[in-house]
Structure 1
Amino acid sequence: MPVTSTNLIQGPATVYVAPFGTPEPATIATAPAAAWVDVGGTKGGLELNISSEFATLTVDQIVDIIESRRTGREVTTKTTLAEATLQNIAQATANTAPVANVLELDDGLAAFKPAYSAILIDGIAPGGFRRRIIVRKTLSTDAVGVGYKKDDQTVVPVTWKLHWVSTVIKPLKIEDATS
């Protein structure tokens, strides 16, 4: 296969979050509606990871693996939010949004069943067009440390983990524009 230079991509992406179930833009050319909130700047890029687990099928008579079956999959989206706003900290900790510039950790029943989000990522696709990634049901599940240092920027690390939606709605969509 020859190298096609226009298939090489590099550059930042814009990350939006919305409550789970928020209507998606009708087309890849459509801007996200107001319910999709831009999280602002990121630091160090964004990474979408798809990790699968497989069980192997073997027989005594053959030394090689005969077949493999997928037994699990984990999809994560990881970035560092450069804007350490209360809204971003709430999003990163799967917490209720702040009210009147005050963020308090959820407790009671709300702490046991955090609200799921959806994330929409607009980045660059081959040809210099838009690539849109939509993770339809996600929850921030990793530890979040927000540091204050004399010689370093305060940031908010976040890892969103994909969750199953339904038998008719796929949990992840990746679409490339062609013009």
Structure 2
Amino acid sequence: MANEDVLVMGPATLYIGAFGATEPADSAYASVPASGSWTDLGFTMDGCELSIEQDYKELVADQSVDKMGARLQERSFKVKVSLAEPSLDNLLVVLNDGTVASGAGFHTYTPAFVTSATQPTYRALIIDGWASGGGRARLIIRKVLSTDNVKLKYSKEDQTVYEVEFEGFYVDESTAPWKMITQDPS
């Protein structure tokens, strides 16, 4: 008989690293990733959402009224989150590149000055959350870019956040673009 232990609720922690950064061992699902390779993106608002879109092409034959099967034609995956810490370091992340500098009592952000032919700065993303059964879950997305429009709004009623959507991409023929690790229920 099922109980509430199989239901999942709770926030996730997001870490960003360089594309190709050393991933934590699968057995380290409950520990903080190495600080030299991974940076905590800080507090978030309204959760962290993973969406996976799949496009299948149906196989049909004149001799059958039933569909014969399908083949995956395209898959895309995205992580949508609002970063509740609108820092210059997070602005660099959501705009994929640039320079953060500091002076006596101030910091600056300067966006990258690039052309459309410039190779973007890909990164990797770790989402640490909760698994069914009360354990921990870790999702590692190995190659991402912030691809949506970036918004920064100051208002009397609402908290200022960076709304960001990270899109995942193909890595290579021997590496899956993402992996999920979950802790076995006790």
Q: TM-score, normalised by structure 1?
A: 0.92
State the alpha-carbon separation in 1 of the partners of residues 149 and 79 from structure 2.
Answer: 14
Q: What is aligned with 2:32?
A: 31
Of 148-157 and 20-29, more deviation after overlay is shown by: 20-29
SS state at 2:89 partner: helix
State the alpha-carbon separation in 2 of the partners of residues 140 and 111 from structure 1.
Answer: 17
Q: What is aligned with 1:115?
A: 121
* 1:19 equivalent in alignment to 2:18: yes
* 1:150 equivalent in alignment to 2:163: no
Q: How many residues align?
A: 178
CA change 1:111–1:44 in 2 (3 A) is: farther
CA change 1:160–1:103 in 2 (3 A) is: same
Q: What is aligned with 1:84?
A: 86
1:91–1:97 CA contact under 8 A, matched in 2: no
State the alpha-carbon separation in 2 of the partners of residues 13 and 111 from structure 1.
Answer: 35
Of 57-66 and 104-113, more deviation after overlay is shown by: 104-113
SS state at 1:87 partner: helix
- Give identity over the alignment, percent: 37
SS state at 1:121 partner: strand
What residue identity is the alignment partner of 1:172? W
Q: What are structure 1's unaligned runs of at least 5 residues?
A: none
What residue identity is the alignment partner of 1:39? L
What residue identity is the alignment partner of 1:129? G
State the alpha-carbon separation in 2 of the partners of residues 169 and 125 from structure 1.
Answer: 24
State the alpha-carbon separation in 2 of the partners of residues 157 and 122 from structure 1.
Answer: 19
Q: What are structure 2's unaligned runs of at least 5 residues?
A: none
CA change 1:159–1:42 in 2 (3 A) is: same
1:81–1:156 CA contact under 8 A, matched in 2: yes
State the alpha-carbon separation in 2 of the partners of residues 23 and 97 from structure 1.
Answer: 24
Distance apart, 1:97 and its partner CA: 4.3
Q: How do 1:1-179 residues align onto structure 2 when only pairs under 5 Å count?
A: 2-26=1-25, 27-34=28-35, 35-100=37-102, 101-109=107-115, 112-178=118-184
SS state at 2:29 partner: coil
Distance apart, 1:107 and its partner CA: 1.3
State the alpha-carbon separation in 2 of the partners of residues 4 and 149 from structure 1.
Answer: 42
CA deviations on 1:27-63 (whole Å, 9 max, x unpaired) are: 3244201121111110000011111011111123433
SS state at 1:174 partner: strand
SS state at 2:79 partner: strand
State the alpha-carbon separation in 2 of the partners of residues 79 and 133 from structure 1.
Answer: 14
Distance apart, 1:67 and its partner CA: 1.3
CA deviations on 1:112-160 (whole Å, 9 max, x unpaired) are: 3221010111101122211001001111101111111122111001111
SS state at 1:128 partner: coil
Structure 1 vs Structure 2 CA RMSD:
1.7
Of 60-69 and 136-145, more deviation after overlay is shown by: 60-69
